[in-house]
């Protein structure tokens, strides 16, 4: 697909750069190898005050390879969300693809995207990814390799797979109107991607891995799993605050199944958070404080849910998922000040 009639690029690839020196060359070469002399594609990088030489390497690689590439800079370190937001304002492409600088675009991905966009121009194109351990991860549960209409089907299919990261989907520029990544917080993708889906009216699921995803020790998820950081877990619990209202506003007749999928996502995140919290309080032997924290996090996350967590637990029981039922009911009971015991349901 060539640049549009106004001469703008058809695709903007946006890459934030902050202290990623060991990975940056692989990332940029994966893009340059597929863009050639540009071909209607612009590459925008933003250095967020790196201290490890990442910006110098980016400049050198752009000078060597980068026809349609440019490097922006923040005067101060402002974080991932601010970097993405600044690049959105600079982007001129009909479509926008967020790429993390420690990942890479797999060979053939941009050509496949060009074919899809050229044939049907969906509001969002979804792809899969392959992890550095070789596992291919699907990001959508629904029809593949065909143009589809429907915001609710998009929301349901994404929440069914529980993948709310920014880089496994490519957005038509208009979908970003009125939505930006929240600055100064973790889990910005979880807070933003569901709202972008509510802006989309059509989609195409490529069902192919286009991204090579690298797990690295210093990532947010790696750190939050290693210990309990209240700030990060608070921001995780708050990421979907208000989404229940946004969902109903965008889809007034949203189905019970879609509500269940969103609620299931939140309930499972609550259980994972509760398990991390319990490890901390077990060491501190502070049951009273544990109950208070569990109650506070439950109020945050169940408050964003389209269904009560009790309904999710009941569905686990009906489906024979007794481990999930027991975990959710245990933490729900423990979050009560009385610490009421739970009974196994009759099924």
Burial call 104-132: b when 16+ CB within 10 Å, e when fewer: bbbeebbeebbebbeeebbbbbbbbbbee
Element (H, E) at 41: strand 41-47
Contact 123, 172 (CB under 8 A): yes
Instruction: Take residue 306 and report the two structure tokens written for it.
Output: 């389209």
Contact 66, 7 (CB under 8 A): no
Cα–Cα distance, 270 to 260 (Å, whole number): 15
Give the pLDDT of residue 221. Answer: 53
Indicate the SS3 state at residue 28: helix
Instruction: Report how far apart, in Å, the C-alpha atoms of 282 and of each of 165, 276, 297 are.
Output: 32, 10, 18
Cα–Cα distance, 339 to 347 (Å, whole number): 24
Cβ-count burial of 194 within 10 angstroms (0-12 exposed, 13-18 middle, 19+ buried)?
buried
pLDDT tens column, 3-26 = 455 678 999 999 999 999 999 999
Contact 113, 85 (CB under 8 A): no
Give the pLDDT of residue 280. Answer: 81
Question: What is the per-residue DSSP string for 143-211?
Answer: --SSEEE-HHHHHHHHHHHT---STTEEEEGGGGTT--PPTT-S-HHHHHHHHHHHH-SEEEEEEEEEE
Give the pLDDT of residue 39. Answer: 77
Long-range (24+ apart) CB contacts under 8 A made by 165-168 are 165/189, 165/193, 166/84, 166/98, 166/192, 166/193, 167/97, 167/98, 167/99, 167/100, 167/103, 167/129, 167/211, 168/126, 168/127, 168/128, 168/129, 168/139, 168/210, 168/211
- The low-confidence residues of the chain, meaning pLDDT below 50, are 1-3, 338-347
Give the pLDDT of residue 288. Answer: 82
Residue 149's beta-bridge partner residues? 202
Task: Please tell me whether the overall predicted TM-score, pTM, comes out greater than 0.85 for this model.
Answer: yes
């Amino acid at each position: 697909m060539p640049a549009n009639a106004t001469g703008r690029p058809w695709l903007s690839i946006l890459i934030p750069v902050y202290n990623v020196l060991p990975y940056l060359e692989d990332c940029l070469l994966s893009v340059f190898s597929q863009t050639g002399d540009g071909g209607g594609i612009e590459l925008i990088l933003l250095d967020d005050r790196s201290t490890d030489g990442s910006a110098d390497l980016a400049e050198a690689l752009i000078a060597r390879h980068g026809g349609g590439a440019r490097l922006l800079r923040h005067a101060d370190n402002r974080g991932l969300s601010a970097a993405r937001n600044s690049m959105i304002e600079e982007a001129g492409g009909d479509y926008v693809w967020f790429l993390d600088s420690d990942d890479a675009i797999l060979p053939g991905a941009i050509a496949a995207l060009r074919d899809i966009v050229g044939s049907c121009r969906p509001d969002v194109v979804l792809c899969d990814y392959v992890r550095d351990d070789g596992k291919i991860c699907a990001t959508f549960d629904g029809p593949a390799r065909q143009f589809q209409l429907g915001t609710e089907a998009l929301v349901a299919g994404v929440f069914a797979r529980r993948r709310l990261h920014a880089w496994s989907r490519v957005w038509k520029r208009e979908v970003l109107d009125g939505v930006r990544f929240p600055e100064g917080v973790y889990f910005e993708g979880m807070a933003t991607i569901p709202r972008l889906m509510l802006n989309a009216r059509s989609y195409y699921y490529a069902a192919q891995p286009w991204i090579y995803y690298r797990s690295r020790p210093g990532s947010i998820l790696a750190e939050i799993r290693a210990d309990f950081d209240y700030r990060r877990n608070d921001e995780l619990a708050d990421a979907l605050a208000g989404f229940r209202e946004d969902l109903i506003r965008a889809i007034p007749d949203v189905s019970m199944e879609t509500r269940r999928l969103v609620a299931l996502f939140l309930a499972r995140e609550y259980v994972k958070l509760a398990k991390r919290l319990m490890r901390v309080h077990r060491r501190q032997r502070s049951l009273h404080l544990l109950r208070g924290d569990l109650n506070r996090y439950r109020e945050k996350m169940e408050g964003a849910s389209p269904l009560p967590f009790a309904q999710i637990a009941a569905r686990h029981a009906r489906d024979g998922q007794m481990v999930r039922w027991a975990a959710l009911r245990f933490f729900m009971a423990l979050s009560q000040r009385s610490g009421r015991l739970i009974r196994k349901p009759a099924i």
